[in-house]
Amino acid sequence: MSWITQTFSSTIGRKLLVAASGLFLIIFLIGHVSGNFLLFKDDGGQAFNEYTQFMTTNQLVQVVRWLTYISILTHIIVTIILTIHNKKARPVGYAEAHPSANSTWSSRNMGLLGTLIAVFLVIHLGNFWYKMKVGEVPLVTYESEGTLRDLYSVVLFSFSNLWYVILYVVMMIFLALHLAHGFRSAFQTLGWRHKKYTPIIEKVGLAFAIIVPLLFAIMPVYIYIITR
Phi and psi at residue 151, in whole multiples of 5°? Answer: -65, -25
- Is there binding between residue 54 and ligand HEM (CB under 6 A)? no
The Cα 222–Cα 51 span in angstroms is 19
The Cα 67–Cα 64 span in angstroms is 5
Q: Which helix (H) or strand (E) holds 107?
A: helix 105-108
Contact positions with ligand HEM (CB under 6 A) in 135-164: 151, 155
User: Is the CB of 168 or the CB of 208 nearer to ligand HEM?
Assistant: 168
User: Is the CB of 130 or the CB of 196 nearer to ligand HEM?
Assistant: 130
- Is there binding between residue 52 and ligand HEM (CB under 6 A)? yes
Task: Quote the least distance from Cβ 97 to ligand HEM, whole Å.
Answer: 31
Kindly compute the dihedral angle of the four CA atoms of residues 212, 163, 122, 211, in this order, to the nearest 10 degrees: 0
Contact positions with ligand HEM (CB under 6 A) in 82-121: 117
User: Is the CB of 128 or the CB of 157 nearer to ligand HEM?
Assistant: 128
User: Among candidates 176, 160, 161, which has minimal Cα distance to 217?
Assistant: 176
Contact positions with ligand HEM (CB under 6 A) in 170-189: 175
Task: Sort 5 into a burial class: Cβ within 10 Å, 0-12 / 13-18 / 19+.
Answer: exposed
Q: CB atoms < 10 A from the CB of 124, how many? A: 16
- Is there binding between residue 76 and ligand HEM (CB under 6 A)? no
Window of 52-60, 76-84, 98-106, 107-115 that interacts with ligand HEM by CB under 6 A? 52-60
Q: Which residues lie near ligand HEM (CB under 6 A)?
A: 32, 36, 52, 55-56, 65, 68, 117, 124-125, 128-129, 132, 151, 155, 168, 175, 216, 219-220
